[in-house]
């Protein structure tokens, strides 16, 4: 009798720990909505869809988040362009071509890369990468979207490698055997059979990597220069959504328009990562079932 | 020992013990007999929070039975609190406005002004930049984006790279008010998260310009070049220094004030006197501002 009760209590404990994350996600959405929502009523949503972000001004404050969205988008796209060849290439090598001893050496390093704190990566970027970029492209300043993208790529690569590697590894051996038996070379088999078969998993890996890239703050804030301009050039300074929140939240007057605008930026950011994660999970699930 | 109960959590055990020891020795008992305040509040300028906190800390070390509470919120908030009687001292990085003064007199409050420190902002460029003087108007044009090239201000034909602090910084607002005449910064200006990032960028980017507190600029003078500033075309170019900020010759400087309601009395007077004392002014220098006397 008592045992059954105990069992129930333990089960309840585990259920509650497991569902905490759902509760937290929901309450974050509610909280952001509550703090940011009033901005949509006053001064209104069209204020948000402006091209100027000037939160502190003696003339007129503007809270247009388009430059911030554009900044985040540019840095993310650039980061993914850099990450995909590196990540997928490394995954193919580790899972298909590397000898066991090479794999033993490569894998721990990938994991170490995943564990480096972002502020350390940012510091490395500011002191090493920014001057190199400035020198390589003879720019007036190395504080550019490209610098941010390269650091973010560095952070996304481990995610992309480990999930892609998983996907490539779980391609049935019979596919490869059939391909080789038909006279295809090893490289032909990899590029025409294995990688296409693992493609949904690789796509999911890239999406999860993108999620990490969009949400990353510290490293980006240190190297992108944070000028709120809309640009498609990797050699210009951009201001990301995350850096804006991190830089401005500390000093903003509680309940002011600026405060609410920052929460709206937070909502946009959360929605973006949420959608990416959902889609990635979907893709991954379908692929595993298939 | 009764004051021990009222002290704020922040006080550590060590401080409490020292406090107890001092009280027993009798160092502070006289004050208690006179019925003076043991708890005073300072509210106002965000720029000054660091400075006032340092003062408060040193003051509380000397007078363990007194608690000084320091909060920011902005000079305007501080002055409003002084008028409403919710703070003993207001810290302000600007003079009280006429409108506020009238409101004060209506409420029968007579704000008493004391300049307690000075704050100077240095304009810094790369050591190789040949430009050796700028007028306030040129600075304003550079930072608002109307001047894009160094050739317009007597330098080579290179594009100016404008560096600013983040908008949350008090220095950002001070510079905007004093130099930009309250206009907005140009949108392309790079906003860097810390003074150290500005120094780092200016020291590596040949055509960059930025502004930092005088203390920081002097400390980094081997890496960056401080540009002397002219008030207008006809006035001489002034290099920022303790002396020129103190004398008012350097134009990008402002006094920092403490305001009390009427002449300061009792503990409030003790605190203000401490701020103006040699020890208090030493703290001013250590915090990166310029001493007033």
Chain A nearest-CA residue for B181: A58
Backbone torsions φ then ψ of B261, nearest 5 degrees: -85, 105
Answer yes or no: do A225 and B192 touch at CB < 8 A: yes
Model confidence at B235, pLDDT cuts 50, 70, 90, reads confident
Q: Does B176 touch chain A (CB under 8 A)?
A: yes
Chain A residues with CB-CB distance to B182 below 8 A: 58-59
Chain A residues with CB-CB distance to B201 below 8 A: 141, 143
Return d(Cα A172, Cα B118) in angstroms, integer. 74
- pLDDT at position B258 is 92
Complex ipTM more than 0.90, yes or no: no
Backbone torsions φ then ψ of B190, nearest 5 degrees: -80, 130
Q: Does A138 touch chain B (CB under 8 A)?
A: no
Answer yes or no: do A58 and B177 touch at CB < 8 A: yes
Of A212, A209, A168, A205, nearest in space to A190 by CA: A168
Stretch A124-142: mean pLDDT, rounded?
85
Chain B nearest-CA residue for A144: B190
Model confidence at B13, pLDDT cuts 50, 70, 90, reads very low
Interface size, chain A vs chain B, as Cβ–Cβ contacts under 8 Å: 81
* DSSP reduced 3-state for B67: strand
Selected from 1.10.4030.10, 1.10.150.120, 1.10.3720.10, 1.10.10.10, the CATH number assigned to the domain covering A53-289 reads 1.10.3720.10
Angle of helix A195-215 versus helix A257-289 axis, rounded to 10: 160
Q: Does B208 touch chain A (CB under 8 A)?
A: yes
Return d(Cα B159, Cα B186) in angstroms, integer. 14
Stretch A42-66: mean pLDDT, rounded?
80
B137-155: string of b/e by CB count within 10 Å (b at 16+)?
A: bbbbbbbbbebeebeebeb
Chain A residues with CB-CB distance to B190 below 8 A: 141, 143, 225-227, 237
Q: Does B287 touch chain A (CB under 8 A)?
A: no
Tell me the pLDDT of chain B averaged across its residues: 80
Min Cα distance A56 → chain B (Å) is 6
Partner residue opposite B190 with nearest CB, options A56, A225, A252: A225
Min Cα distance A72 → chain B (Å) is 16
Min Cα distance B225 → chain A (Å) is 17
Q: Domain segments of chain A: what residues?
A: 2-36, 53-289
Min Cα distance B290 → chain A (Å) is 24
Residues B171-229 have pLDDT tens digits of 788 888 888 888 888 888 888 877 778 888 888 888 889 988 887 787 788 888 888 88
Residues B21-68 have pLDDT tens digits of 444 444 433 333 334 678 899 988 777 888 898 999 999 999 889 999
Min Cα distance A269 → chain B (Å) is 21
Model pTM above 0.80: no
* Residues A205 and A83 sit within 8 Å (Cβ to Cβ): no
- pLDDT at position A108 is 87
The percent of residues above 70 in pLDDT, for chain B, comes to 86
Chain B nearest-CA residue for A236: B188
- pLDDT at position B9 is 41
Stretch A206-228: mean pLDDT, rounded?
85
Of A169, A125, A179, nearest in space to A147 by CA: A125
Q: Which residues contact A72 (CB under 8 A, 6 or more apart)?
A: A214, A240, A241, A242, A269, A272
């Amino acid at each position: 009798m008592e045992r059954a009760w105990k069992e129930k209590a333990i089960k309840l404990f585990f259920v509650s720990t497991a569902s905490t994350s759902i509760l937290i996600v929901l309450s974050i959405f509610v909280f952001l909505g509550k703090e940011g929502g009033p901005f949509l009523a006053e001064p209104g949503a069209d204020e948000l869809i402006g091209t100027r972000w000037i939160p502190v001004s003696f003339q007129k404050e503007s809270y247009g988040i388009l430059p911030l969205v554009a900044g985040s988008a540019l840095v993310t796209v650039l980061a993914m362009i850099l990450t995909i060849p590196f990540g997928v290439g490394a995954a193919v090598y580790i899972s298909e071509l590397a000898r066991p001893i090479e794999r033993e050496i490569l894998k721990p390093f990938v994991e170490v890369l995943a564990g480096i704190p972002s502020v350390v990566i940012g510091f490395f970027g500011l002191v090493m990468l920014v001057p190199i970029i400035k020198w390589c492209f003879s720019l007036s300043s190395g504080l550019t979207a490209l610098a941010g993208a390269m650091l973010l790529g560095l952070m996304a690569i481990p995610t992309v490698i480990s999930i892609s590697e998983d996907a490539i590894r779980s391609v049935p051996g019979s596919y490869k055997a059939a391909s080789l038996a038909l006279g295809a070379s090893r490289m032909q088999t990899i590029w025409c059979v294995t990688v296409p078969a693992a493609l949904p998993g690789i796509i999911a890996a890239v999406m999860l990597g993108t999620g990490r890239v969009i949400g990353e703050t510290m490293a980006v804030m240190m190297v992108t220069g944070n000028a709120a301009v809309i640009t498609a050039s990797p050699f210009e300074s951009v201001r990301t959504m995350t850096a804006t929140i991190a830089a401005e939240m500390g000093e903003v007057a509680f309940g002011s328009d600026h405060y609410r605008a920052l929460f709206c930026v937070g909502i946009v950011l959360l929605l973006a990562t949420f959608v990416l994660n959902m889609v990635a999970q979907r893709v991954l699930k379908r692929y595993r079932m298939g | 020992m009764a004051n021990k109960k009222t002290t704020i959590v922040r006080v550590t055990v060590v401080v409490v013990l020292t406090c107890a020891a001092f009280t027993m020795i009798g160092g502070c008992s006289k004050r208690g007999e006179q019925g003076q305040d043991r708890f005073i509040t300072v509210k106002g300028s965000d720029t000054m929070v660091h400075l006032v906190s340092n003062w408060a800390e040193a003051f509380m070390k000397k007078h363990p039975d007194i608690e000084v509470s320091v909060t920011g919120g902005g000079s305007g908030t501080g002055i409003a609190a002084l008028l409403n009687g919710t703070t003993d001292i207001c810290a302000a990085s600007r003079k009280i406005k006429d409108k506020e003064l009238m409101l004060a007199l209506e409420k029968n409050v007579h704000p008493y002004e004391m300049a307690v420190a000075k704050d100077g902002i240095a304009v810094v460029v790369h050591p190789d930049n040949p430009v050796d003087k700028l007028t306030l108007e040129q600075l304003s044009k550079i930072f608002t984006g109307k001047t894009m090239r160094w050739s317009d201000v007597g330098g080579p034909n290179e594009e100016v790279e404008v560096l600013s602090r983040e908008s949350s910084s008090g220095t950002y607002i001070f510079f905007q008010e004093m130099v930009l005449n309250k206009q907005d910064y140009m949108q392309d200006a790079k906003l860097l998260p810390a003074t150290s990032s500005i120094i780092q960028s200016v020291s590596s980017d040949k055509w960059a310009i930025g502004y930092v507190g005088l203390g920081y600029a002097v400390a980094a003078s081997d890496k960056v070049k401080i540009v002397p500033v002219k008030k207008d075309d006809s006035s001489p170019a002034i290099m920022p220094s303790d002396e020129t900020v103190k004398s008012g010759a350097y134009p990008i400087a402002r006094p920092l004030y403490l305001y009390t309601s009427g002449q300061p009395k009792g503990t409030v007077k003790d605190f203000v006197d401490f701020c103006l004392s040699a020890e208090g002014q030493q703290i001013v220098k250590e915090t990166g501002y310029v001493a007033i006397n």
